[in-house]
Each structure stands twice: as structure tokens, then as C-alpha cells.
Structure 1
Amino acid sequence: MPNLLFRGLSHTSITLSLVLLSACSEAPAQSMSGTPTTAPTTSPSVTAVAASDSAQTPQPALTFAEWRTLLRSDAIAAGISDTLFDRAFAGVTPNPDVIRLDGSQPEFTRPVWEYLDGAVSPARVNQGRRLMAQERVALDRIEQHYAVNRETLVAIWGMESNFGGNIGSYNVVRSLATLAYEGRRQAFWRSQLLAVLQILQHGDTDPEHLVGSWAGAMGQTQFMPTTYNDHAVDFDGDGRRDVWRSSTDALASAAQYLNASGWQMDQPWGFEVRLPGDFDYALADPENRRTLSQWQALGLKPVNSTAAQLPGDSLATLLLPAGHKGPAFLLMNNFRSILRYNNSTSYALAIGLLSDSLRGDAGVQGKWPVGERQLGRQERIELQQLLTQKGFEPGKADGIIGANTRKAVRAFQQQQQQPADGYPSVELLQELRRF
């Protein structure tokens, strides 16, 4: 889902996001989604919000009825029809399942290679190719108008909602009202709820058909309400921005979002590379941007020969999603645009690889360290605590492996004269315990 931090995800996509955030890498753009415990499904955007917020859920000072009355006054003052408000809130009560999902913290993370196996499965690639041919006329128009590659749009469509097959079944008004009333980040959820009322006021859909993920992500490309208001478009010309039932509107809306995020039609998202034997793995830092010519001078060689034809002054960062034992990728500006859609590096990598597969390119050529176990959440917290005790400053011990934790891991690895890839492995945790 668009990097509206949590457009509205299904439970699977949020769990997935949390997993990706901790298991994979730190995104160089904004914030959206995380780690997979199950195969990827819908919008990971909401995930980022849930993953980044570890505050305790505040206890409501008002009853839900009192809170709703105050919200009604604010909504009417903001131009929402009183009749519409009453219709949208008819029979709405807090949903305990939403609060439970908002507070869930997966204990174990899936390895990135397992996540990518599900994201870029042969079945998904084959279905995506069929739909790309089926939607060819609409995609021609969208590509021409927004200058965003069709393969990327279809990849997002597949990842976010299984090509429209799983847009969520939660009542969006009820979910957002629950979160705004007693969830974490109540101001954020209240803004999403008011945005939903604006969508209803606009007439794009009606309260009875306004469904989405438990966190409010909506439609075939899983937009959060404020993102919808900013970027959803009526591209099929029926007078409604219908991302629920119109694949044309959904794909064009995703294209509009990526276009606004700086998408460059003439560049790839990135590409796989081979590293020289004496490579300094500490250079695999999202803040270390170099030109392709500079990376080439360091001995990096593209796996795909077409990548060698890119302009040498193009900037890229190096990603080692499984550390120095796994494949390596150079990431270009379009990768950052995908991260703005969903701030999970694993999600963005999946979109890039899925789009490549839809185009007919070969998959990842490097070998994944499939025999390695991923750290559980308590182990990740322990790793952060041990790094702090030893003076490496990883930040808060919250079990989320972010940029600060990776920098601390690199510093420890360098001190131990190990490959400084910043990857939090079981082996590294055991070394810290002995240190």
C-alpha cells in the first residue's frame, strides 16, 4: 500500500510487514511495511505504522458513544453531511479483533528468501502475465499518461490484493473508528477516519460497500484513505474513483502515486550484481550512494548484461538482503519510489523481482543461505541489548532491526574483523554473548 504508513492492511499483510522490517533491511525512503510470517498478500503499508509504534494503547476517557458524538460535531464542521455521518456509523461499535491485530507482535520472522518465493511464485507470475495481456489497452493508456512501467503496476496489484482477489472484508469505518477511539496513534487514525467520510461524501462508494483491511487499507491497490484522497483517479471515465471494483482505476491510481514519488520510466528498480572476493561489505549501507561507474570501479559486475548499458552517472546503493552470504543488488531511484509505496525493503525487492519476471527476465542467480535460522523477536531484543552494553548504540531494544542497529552490528563486526555486512545472524548473537 502507498507509504501512507498503513493504508489498510489485511492481518497477513501487516504481519508480513513487521516481519520484513525486522528480517530484511532498512529502507532508504520513508516508512511503510515490514517482515513476513506468511506468504505476502495485501498492503504492507499499514504495517509500517504498526511496526514503528510500540506505545501502550491508551485507555479511553470517554465512552464510545460520547466519543462518536464529539467526532460527529467535528465531521459536520469539516463539511460532512450529518445524514451521511449517521448512515456511516449506523450500528458501528468498536471491533476487538482490530485492537488485537493492532497490538500483535510476531515472535519469529520468515527469511527473505522464503518471502520472495511466495511473492514471486510461478503461479503469481503466470496470472500476472495473463492479466497484463487482458488489461493491455488500459495499461497502454496508463503507461503513456503516467510514465510508469506496466510490469511494476501489475506486480503491485498482485502483491497488494492478489490482483483484486483479496481486497479485505473489514468495515473500514468500524476499523478506523476502533483505532481512533482506543488504538495507538489515535490522531493518525482519526485523520484516516475523517478522510473516509470525505470519500463517502464525494460519492466514490457507499458505506455498505466500503471494505478493506483491518487497518483501513482499501481497494485492489490498498490505499489508505488520505492517500486515496491525494492520489486516487477516475481513469475509466465513469465519474467515480473506484479502486474496489475497477482494475483500471486501481492501476492508474497506483501509477499516479509512483509518478508523484519520482518514478523514472527509463530506469530499472535495480539489478543483481556479483561482488569481488575482497569486497568491503560495509559499503552495503543505504546511506552510501555512488554512481554506477564508481561501483564498477570497486569490482561489481551486473548479472544481467542489459544493466551494463545504463548511464554510468546514475546513482545506486548496495543491498545485501541476507548479508554477505546471499545475493547482492544495486538499487536505483525507482526502488526508492517503491519504498514510498510501502517502506519495506523486502516488499520493494519483491515488487522489483516480480516485475522482472513479468517481463520475462530470469530470477535471482545468487544463492541464498537457506540453512540459516532467523532470529526471533526476543533474540533480536537481546542482540540490541548486548550491543548497547558493549557501547555500540543500536538504539531502542525493540526487536526491530533498523538503520541504527545495522550500524551498530557493522561496528561490532569491524571490531571483530568479520565481514561488516550489518546482518543480524544467529552466529553474530552467539559471538556477542561470548564477547
Structure 2
Amino acid sequence: MIKRPMRFALGALIATLLYASTGLAASKSEVDAQFRAWLASDLWPEAKSQGISKAVFDQAFSGVTLNFDLPDLVMPGEKPQTPKEQRQSEFGSPGKYFNDKTVNAVTSGGAARAGQYAKILKAVESKYGVPGPIVLAIWGRESGYGSVKIPNNAFAVLGTKAFMATRKDMFRKELVAALQIVEKGYIGVGSMKSSWAGALGQPQFMPTSYLEHAVDFDGDGKRDIWNSVPDTLGSIGHYLAQYGWQRGRDWGYEVNVPQAVSCSLEGPDQGKPFAAWAKLGIARVNGKPFPASETSREGFLLMPAGRHGPAFVVTRNFYVIKEYNMSDLYALFVGHVGDRIANGARGFSVGWGDVGGLYRSDIAGLQKALEKKGYDAGGADGFPGFKTRRSIGDWQTKQGLPATCFPDKDLVKAIR
């Protein structure tokens, strides 16, 4: 005889299939019921196979309901919505990422904590090779040095997304990892707080990253990235070290790039020895030579706004920072603020041009047009990454135009 909970689970799953086949959207209460059935009949068997106890599973989801306010959800019986044409500009000058308020807040907060946590930071650098100012810049950027409130129940967020987000499989994996964190005793269920995206604690690790990178740096037996500063700093350092941070190297240097040197030389796949960049006439903006230790080592040209902003020659460590957040601007923010924390460095020597004012759909169309012409624009995601920028530069050069390596309205019309 089928017990009542299983009958309820089967009934809810049948209802889900009916809604999907008829195209009728379920009410929120009906979807919540389907969620409870999914937990019991679908997620629990997998969690059990991954070593999760029933006690931990039940405790994690006790009182948890779906959070319908999260983005990128698809209600049962509905199809993912095609985004409407953007009414507001979704992409502007990269300089907006470096607004004075944010940069100054992270810099001043890091400078204050550099002294306060000097002993811990020294220990982190000794063990993992990552300089304290870089660790501080990430901590500040991710959670305002722990001041940003992270109020969400991680199991409600991850459960909702695993049940009905557009990327269910990814969030299901993260949800099981969150259960493993509790099962292993690293943190209690009540302390599992996350962002709306499911990122945990002060370093904002996703659960799978927590399991791989979080460390107990204060020796209390827990990897408490929610409340422990040593664990937070140590975990950030460990993360970067595991992604290949090269001890004793800087992240990069702001440079002047002569007009005769094409901005299309940008990218992590077009590295040259620092000596070769210098031979091309590329020099540091502060007038100092590149460090002698870098002469034969590989550097990479970085021009996030093409000819409309500052330029850099970066080391492999820049791309290690980028592993934390796959954005050139994020990695540049961390490196730049790290320099300001370390030595009081000022802002960039060159301003960011007033470029932008485009929809992401405009840039995606530009990328498609470039790829039809045989260029590798890195896909049509609506973001002008280095492959898009240098493809623009190559196209401009072939048309006899000055290479700017950055999209604008006239360029979008011309290439299309």
C-alpha cells in the first residue's frame, strides 16, 4: 500500500506534467506543493546517494518555501520568456565600473584593515603567496569587508533555483553541495546565508567553491566564511593560489601604447615577453621600467575600452584574479584597488572615454556580423570582451580606419 506522503508526491508530479502539457500556469500555492513533492521524490534520493543524512535534509528544508522574487525563474507550465528589446542602455563606458564612490570606499576600508589584520594577512601571503592588498580588495568588493548584509536562506534560494530556474542543473549541483557543507559540520543550517544568487559568506563563494577552496585559517575546526575574518582572508588566498597565483609577481602595470601599436594585439592568447612589449615602445605611465624579473616573462596587453581608456600590460596573475569573477573589469578593479591599498597609488593616468549608450542587443548584433565576416568575436553575448574588441580593431584597420577596438553607434551601423 502506498503511504500518504508518496501518494502526495506522485499527485503533485502528475499535476506538474499536466500543467506543462496544457500550458496552464499553476498558482504559487500549487507550485509550492510541487516543490515539496520534488524535494521528497527527486532531490532526496540524489542527496542520500551523496551521503546526506535524512536529519540534515529535513532540517535544511524545514519551513523553506519558494522565493518567487528571484530572477530567471520559469513557472511550471510556462516557457522561458524571450527578453523584450531593452528600453534602457545596458552597456556604457567601462569607466562606470570605477566610480569614485566605490573605489574610494573599498580603498579606504582596505587601508584601515591592512593594519588591523596585518598579522593574518602576512600569514596568508606566507602560505599562499597572495599579497594582502589583493585579498583585501576582493573582500571589500565582494561584501564591503563583511558589512553587507547577506540575509537570504541559502536553501530557499538554491532550492528555488534548482526547481525552476533557467539553469536548473547548475543550481541543483550547488544545492547538493550546500547540503554537504552542513553534513560535514562546517556550519549549521541556521547560519547558511547567501546572496540572491546563492553565493555564501563574506568571500561570496558558491557552495561548490566553498567545498573546494574554503579553509579553516583560525584553527577552530570550522570553515566559517560568514563570521571569521581569518577564515575569510585565508579562503580568498587559497582560492587564488589554487588557480595558479604566481608568488612574487604583480598583477600588471598601466602603460602608454603608441598609436603605431595596434590595440588588436590585446588578449591572453597573444602574450609577449615584457622586453618585447617595451621594444614596441610600450612603457609604464609612471616612467619606471618594467621590473627586471619580468623581462623574459610573458605579459599580455589589456585595453578594456580600446583607445577610449587606460591600457595595461598584465601578468598571469591578472587572469587568476579573473577566475574569481569572469570579467576584465572586475579583475582590473581588484588589481587597481590593491595597488591603492598597498602604496597609495592614485587613479588611472588616462580617463575613460564617454563611450557606450548601446543596448546589449546592439553589441550582440555587431558580434554576429563580425563572425559572419570570419572574425572570432567570442560569441554574441552582448558584452564587448577582448575577442570582440580586437576583432573590431582588425576590421577597422582593413577598412583603412583608425583602430579604436571598441563599439559605438556608428560602428554598429557600419559593420552591419
TM (norm. structure 1) is: 0.80
Rg larger for:
2
Tell me which residue corresponds to 1:183.
165
**Alpha-carbon deviation of 1:381?**
2.9
Indicate which of 316, 324, 329 corresponds to 2:307.
324
Tell me which residue corresponds to 2:138.
156
Residue type of the alignment partner of 1:144: S
Q: Which moved more, 1:350-359 or 1:122-131?
A: 122-131
Q: Percent identity?
A: 36
Could you tell me how far apart the structure 2 residues matched to 1:334 and 1:158 are?
Answer: 19
After superposition, the Cα gap between the structure-2 partners of 1:429 and 1:115, relative to the gap in structure 1 and judged at 3 Å, is same
For 1:116-127, what aligned pairs fall within 5 Å after superposition?
116-118=98-100, 121-127=103-109
Contact 2:263 2:393 in 1 (8 A): no
Contact 1:192 1:226 in 2 (8 A): yes
Tell me which residue corresponds to 1:64.
35
1:399 correspondence with 2:399: no
Residue type of the alignment partner of 2:360: R
**Alpha-carbon deviation of 1:409?**
2.2
1:338 correspondence with 2:321: yes
Q: Which moved more, 1:203-212 or 1:373-382?
A: 373-382
After superposition, the Cα gap between the structure-2 partners of 1:333 and 1:392, relative to the gap in structure 1 and judged at 3 Å, is closer
Could you tell me how far apart the structure 2 residues matched to 1:275 and 1:176 are?
Answer: 46
Aligned CA RMSD, in angstroms, stands at 2.6
Indicate which of 128, 134, 158 corresponds to 1:146.
128
Indicate which of 94, 108, 132 corresponds to 2:114.
132
TM (norm. structure 2) is: 0.83
Q: Which moved more, 1:418-427 or 1:326-335?
A: 418-427
SS at match of 1:63: helix
Could you tell me how far apart the structure 1 residues matched to 2:215 and 2:103 are?
Answer: 30
Could you tell me how far apart the structure 2 residues matched to 1:425 and 1:349 are?
Answer: 22
Tell me which residue corresponds to 2:353.
370
Could you tell me how far apart the structure 2 residues matched to 1:398 and 1:277 are?
Answer: 29
- 1:205-258 Cα offsets, whole Å, 9 max, x none, are 222221111111111111110111011111111111000000110110111111
SS at match of 1:72: helix
Could you tell me how far apart the structure 1 residues matched to 2:298 and 2:111 are?
Answer: 30
**Alpha-carbon deviation of 1:111?**
2.0
After superposition, the Cα gap between the structure-2 partners of 1:191 and 1:359, relative to the gap in structure 1 and judged at 3 Å, is same
Tell me which residue corresponds to 1:98.
70
Could you tell me how far apart the structure 2 residues matched to 1:177 and 1:167 are?
Answer: 21
Q: Which moved more, 1:199-208 or 1:383-392?
A: 383-392
Tell me which residue corresponds to 1:427.
410
- 1:135-167 Cα offsets, whole Å, 9 max, x none, are 112112212121110000000000000001115
Tell me which residue corresponds to 2:60.
88
1:301 correspondence with 2:272: no
Indicate which of 298, 313, 316 corresponds to 1:315.
298
For 1:12-411, what aligned pairs fall within 5 Å after superposition?
63-69=34-40, 70-100=42-72, 107-118=89-100, 121-304=103-286, 305=288, 307-387=290-370, 392=375, 394=377, 396-402=379-385, 404-411=387-394
| Structure 1 unaligned regions, length at least 5 | 1-58
Q: Which moved more, 1:72-81 or 1:411-420?
A: 411-420
Higher RCO (C-alpha under 8 Å, 6+ residues apart): 1
Tell me which residue corresponds to 2:4.
none
Tell me which residue corresponds to 1:24.
none
After superposition, the Cα gap between the structure-2 partners of 1:365 and 1:187, relative to the gap in structure 1 and judged at 3 Å, is closer
Contact 1:302 1:308 in 2 (8 A): no
Contact 2:396 2:403 in 1 (8 A): yes
| Structure 2 unaligned regions, length at least 5 | 1-25, 75-80
SS at match of 1:321: coil
Could you tell me how far apart the structure 2 residues matched to 1:323 and 1:116 are?
Answer: 16
Contact 2:299 2:314 in 1 (8 A): yes
After superposition, the Cα gap between the structure-2 partners of 1:318 and 1:278, relative to the gap in structure 1 and judged at 3 Å, is same
Could you tell me how far apart the structure 1 residues matched to 2:91 and 2:382 are?
Answer: 11
